[in-house]
């Protein structure tokens, strides 16, 4: 399957759209039509509502991959982690913008949408999102992509400019 076709058929994975049970409040990703958490599945029928995950979470488990799947030779070593989102669902994704040796359990990350290089035969990376360290982790921002101004950023001081 081509990447283009993959995207067309799995848009929900791209926008982190899940579902939430309005009976017990459990969030699911990918979305479910009934809630297995409720004592009777019938309780949740028709009460599952669309819910978009924030993409924020923390690493609960990870693996450093040294042997690339076909199509990912340029990326080794890379880290694939299980990320528990703040909403509850645990997602699998690649951790980017950080050295593999710096990845640790508990690292706060945020989903970032990245174009996949190619579809690997082994299917190591299934989703269009990857995870990068959250900005509140205190790490320098990634060199790539547009800079996101921090809410507490101080005005830039320019030498020679009258105060």
Smallest distance, Zn ion to C-beta of residue 16, A = 20
Place of tokens 């982790």: 137
Residues near Zn ion (CB under 5 A) are 21, 23-24, 26, 35, 37-38, 44
Whole-Å CA distances, 97 to 13, 75, 112, 132, 143: 21, 12, 10, 6, 9
CB of 53 to Zn ion, least distance (A): 17
d(CA 61, CA 103): 10
Tell the smallest beta-carbon distance from residue 133 to Zn ion (Å).
32
Residues sharing a CB contact under 8 Å with residue 139, sequence separation 6 or more, in sequence order: 98, 133
Least CB distance to Zn ion at residue 32 (A): 9
d(CA 33, CA 36): 10
Does the CA dihedral 34-36-40-44 come out positive or negative?
negative
């Amino acid at each position: 399957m081509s990447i283009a076709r993959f995207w067309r058929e799995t848009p929900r994975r791209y926008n982190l759209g899940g579902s939430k049970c309005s009976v017990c409040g459990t969030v699911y990703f990918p979305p479910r039509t009934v809630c297995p958490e409720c004592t009777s599945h019938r309780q949740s029928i028709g009460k599952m509502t669309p819910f978009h995950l924030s993409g924020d979470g923390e690493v609960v488990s990870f693996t450093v991959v040294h042997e690339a799947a076909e199509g990912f030779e340029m990326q080794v070593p890379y880290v694939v982690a299980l990320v528990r989102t703040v909403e509850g669902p645990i997602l699998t994704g690649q951790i980017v913008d950080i050295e593999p040796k710096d990845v640790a359990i508990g690292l706060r990350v945020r989903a970032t949408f990245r174009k996949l290089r190619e579809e690997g035969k082994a299917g190591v990376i299934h989703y269009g999102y990857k995870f990068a360290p959250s900005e509140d982790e205190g790490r320098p921002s990634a060199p790539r992509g547009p800079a996101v101004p921090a809410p507490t950023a101080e005005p830039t001081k320019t030498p020679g400019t009258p105060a």
